Chain A
Amino acid sequence: METLPIGKPIERIDARAKVTGRAEYGADIRLPGLLYCKGVYAAHPHAKLLKVYTEEAAKMSGVVCVVTGADIPGEKMFGELYVDQYALVCDKTRFYGDVIAVVAAETQEQADAAAELVHADYEELPILATPKMALESDIAINADYPDNICGNVHVRKGNAAAGLQEADVIVSGTYKTGFVEHAYIEPESVTVIPDRIRRELTVLGSAQAPYNLRLSVARTLNIPVAQVIVKPSVIGGSFGGKIESAESLAVRAGLIALKTGRPAQYTLTREESIRESYKRHPIDFDIQLGAKQDGTLVAMKVEAIGDAGAYINMSPPVMYKTATLGPGPYRIENVDYNATSVMTNNVHTGSMRGFGTPQAIFALENAMDELAAKLNLTPTELRRKNLLQNGDVSPCGHLLDFHEVSIRSVMEKAAQELGFDEKFAQYAQENKDGRRIRRGVGIAVSMRGASIGADGNGFDVARAFIEVLEDGSVNVDLGLTELGQGLRTCQSQMVAEGMGVSFERISFGNTDTSRAPATGACIASRSTLLGGGALKDASRKVHAIMARVLERKFNKPTDDIVFAEDRVRFADVDISFTEAAKICYALCETPIAVGTYVVPKLNWNEHEGFGEPFYTYTYSCHAAEVSVDLDTGSVDVIRMVGCHDMGRAINPVLVKGQIYGGLAMAQGMALTEDLGHNAKTSALKNLNFEDYLIPTVLDVPDENVPLLDEHPDPRSAFGGRSLGEPATEPGAGALICAINHALGHPGLIRELPADLDRVFAAVRAMEGGDA
């Protein structure tokens, strides 16, 4: 095992190209005859669109074409699960990020200038800028959802109401989170190239989900799916954000490419990207948690209302994760977790790293600290009493007897690294002396379902293509995209192990939907599990083909054939992998296969909200240490520790990279990131990184520590589960727990982000008026 590529910190295959600037991102693409696009945004967030005036713009110098929704030849709407999003608005505007027209010109400057001349007649409708307004209004944003409710998942186990009655101690209250922007370094850029021979489009650029994208383009532009070829460029981060956002750009640019016969590039400015791309759901939680005097949890009842914004997007599956993973990694008999998404005229909300759970873990873990305080227990004591172990049943009813339920050791490792228990006692003591800069520690735990879960029962599939070439090199085509997380390197390591060859033989093709079979998207922490499964299957199939050929060639049985360490051994034959490959080609055989992996059907009772919501889980704990200045409300993160059991680290350096990044992302969500949403007009004020404050290198502590607690998962082909989302999941919760500990009041801060004003106001309230 040790000599194999898995578990080795192999240098990522794109590292040098990226740091030297050789890598080509979407907006770097230049082609002969390239047109540049510029969108015109809705002037009102909710209005009937009566008429769009494009004539003046069309006459401007350099302008080649102006399109509106009326020009879309196929279906007007797109979407993966719910087809309700307009790349170009037709009937009415639903939020400030809707686009009413697109101008294409010879230069970006010409397109920008002409776009200013497009205007429209509107008939304004009332703006529903909060879920509350939308629930109370009789105006429907989407006529198919007359009450504006577009998703609901209700998890039930036992009897929460009765459980709360039995509890000795109950905490109840509300927690609230805001819109969060993905803040990828690279704003979206898509280039669409029309074929010169037939009605076919090639799409390049920042596409996280190329197979979804080709369906959306095919549907709206009336082209067979096979004639939409998507080849994502090097992508500068995505975090779930470049799915529907890239699709609407591809539809608009594709329309222009078809109309003009010329390649068209559509690149968003940062302000445009923040304006039109979907966000993390703001969720309001109303939470009740009950325990026995000894700390045993008995019941949890949560009402969660998420703001879906103007389009349904991924809201229902996001609510699925909120409700199924929001109850945390605890042993608890009675659970009632009801998560509902409500459409509004706000920016739409969709996939973002964590997908509805960082919010829920923030709410739950702070409520846990409130409970601990009431029970006179420390945060770790309360959690130790209730964390799941092997053979326990999860809060949703999943019997966990198929892998190591490691959340206890994961938490202990994180707590120990931070010195949690000692610091918890020490700071509580020293903070009593009247000091104005106080320290605090917080800890938060989570379990993350790998992949889509029962919400996608039956369609959670991955496919991979492996081809052995005559020199013994191995070509892999896999539709899961490299987003910066190092996927191509990790998947190559898995192929090398699966094929029994050295890493250097693997050539991992750039994703190309015309070469790699449809595989679902690189989302939902699914790529290691699903990609691994498909690659293993493909490896097995290629091995079988090669074995058959070798049996014929050597006329010896190959029942005991082993492919390992670049050798092929069977009977008394021991040849190099290269020789085996040569033999295949010499005998005109085809060592090529497509592997398939489908997540087994899960026993989930959707109606009763009970059963097996996911196939397997990653266990996580983040611990945080902060200092809080009571006189200004400013919070300084001293150190964070992230410990995760992702099964097996395929590439430990990349895993640690994910954890460092996840901690930083959690810090932004917890402390500073605020889009400046206006609860009357629905407008977002903070549209660039001057105003939307992500943490800088000076804000994120150099002392942050990633820890691994590996227990290879028998349910995964190579033992690994994904870590993309878990890496950020509990972080915001841990940080707010730490702030509340510093302030000496668990549950004091109940709303994100805990920025200067909010922390200061909480301190004033605590200290009683004139601080």
Chain B
Amino acid sequence: MECREYSKPTTLQEAIDALKTAEDGVKLLAGGTDLLVNAREGHPYRELTIVDIYGLPELCRIEEMDGWIAIGAGVTHTQIEQSALIREKAGVLADACRTVGSPQIRNHSTIGGNIANASPAADSLAALSVLEAEVEVNRLGEVRRVPLGDIIEKPYRTTLSDRDLITRIFVKKADAGTQFHFYKLGRRKALAISRMTIATLLKRDGSGKVERFHMTMGATFPKPMLFEDVDNMLIGKRPTAKDIQAVADALSAKIPLIAGIRPSTAYKQPVCKKMVERILSELLGGQ
């Protein structure tokens, strides 16, 4: 890979210092599974300083904090997939990360990179959405926390400046008894770019009434999205087959509404409807 300068800080502070002192453009390098692939086409990083943040200890932790789980931006998909904490309290993310690429890719690529690359097909995004994820960003020492949807502007474009470093991703811990579901539709069983993902989080009380519900698609919209109107359709109800159908209709109707009518709509909209129906029926016990 061609670049103007390369540095490999060993602490977060050093990384921030490197970002401070770098002249002109900077590019962060994490696992490189997007970056190094991009580098093969043209010379995108020839004029940039590369700051290699892979393995910075501050970015590699998974911790519980109040109602949240804080996941370091440098945590790999494999680590997420294998984290007992995430599997229990945010299982949909573990399931999503398990579908990324192949073992070799998952062992090396990071959640921070998956977000910052902002591919609409990034597999973590829909799962992060239903977990109401927030992203912690450090800009030259100043820390802020932003909802995931505000980080990604459109395909392959974030709202981050080149001095912004994602340090952690916060996902809401789910209560015991919460059901998770992650579905990935690809053209093959591994190393497949998603055609569509569907992430679901569903919590019912003892009587079967829905307390919490989020369901959304990935690889479908220009950025991660949750739909309050759709999610509200089940809240407070003991959903019937009709309710399921209504959610399926409403969610799949978002595709032309938000993404516009494209050649893929004729495929994606009906598939989305059928799969939402199937997933909810399964979660709700064969409605």
Give A residues with C-beta under 8 Å from B: 436, 631-634, 672, 689-690, 693, 695-699, 755-757, 760-761, 764, 770-771
Contacts and interface: CB of A to CB of B under 8 A. Distances in A.
Contacts of B102: 696
A634 B267 CA distance: 12
16 contacts: A631-B271, A633-B271, A689-B191, A693-B192, A696-B188, A697-B190, A698-B189, A699-B188, A699-B190, A756-B185, A756-B187, A756-B267, A757-B267, A760-B270, A760-B271, A771-B270
Contacts of A690: 191, 193
Interface string B253-270: 000000000000001001
- Taking residues whose C-beta sits less than 8 angstroms from the other chain, chain B's interface range is 10 to 19
Contacts of A761: 267
Contacts of A757: 267
Closest 9 CB pairs of A and B: A631-B274, A698-B189, A696-B190, A698-B190, A699-B189, A699-B188, A632-B271, A693-B187, A693-B188
Contacts of A771: 270, 274
Contacts of A695: 188
B189 A764 contact: no
A683 to B, nearest CB: 16
The residue among A631, A695, A760 with the most chain B CB atoms within 10 A of its own CB is A631
Interface string B187-210: 111111101000000000000000
Contacts, number: 48
A672 B267 contact: no
A696 B275 CA distance: 24
Nearest to A755: B187
Nearest to B41: A271
Given A757-B267, A760-B267, A436 B189 contact: no
Contacts of B267: 633, 756-757, 760-761
Contacts of B188: 672, 693, 695-696, 698-699
Interface of B: 102, 185, 187-193, 195, 267, 270-271, 274-275, 278
A689 B274 CA distance: 30
Contact of A632 (B189, B190, B192, B274): B274
Nearest to A756: B187
A569 to B, nearest CB: 58
The residue among A632, A693, A755 with the most chain B CB atoms within 10 A of its own CB is A632
Given A756-B267, A760-B267, A436 B187 contact: no
A693 B193 CA distance: 10
The residue among B185, B193, B275 with the most chain A CB atoms within 10 A of its own CB is B185
Given A631-B274, A632-B275, A672-B187, 20 more contacts: A436-B274, A631-B271, A632-B271, A633-B271, A689-B191, A690-B193, A693-B187, A693-B188, A696-B189, A697-B190, A698-B188, A698-B189, A698-B190, A699-B189, A755-B187, A756-B185, A756-B267, A760-B270, A770-B270, A771-B270
Contacts of B187: 672, 693, 755-756
B270 A764 contact: yes
A39 B134 CA distance: 48
B266 to A, nearest CB: 8
A696 B188 CA distance: 8
Contacts of A696: 102, 188-191
A764 B270 CA distance: 10
Contacts of B185: 632, 634, 756
Nearest to A770: B270
A753 to B, nearest CB: 10
The residue among B187, B195, B267, B270 with the most chain A CB atoms within 10 A of its own CB is B187
Nearest to A700: B189
Given A631-B274, A632-B275, A771-B274, A756 B195 contact: yes
Nearest to B37: A690
Contacts of B275: 631-632
Contacts of A693: 187-188, 192
A693 B102 CA distance: 14
Nearest to A109: B2
Contacts of A770: 270
A40 B192 CA distance: 31
A715 B271 CA distance: 55
A699 B192 CA distance: 11
B278 A631 contact: yes
Nearest to B274: A631
A60 to B, nearest CB: 15
B264 to A, nearest CB: 9
Contacts of B190: 696-699
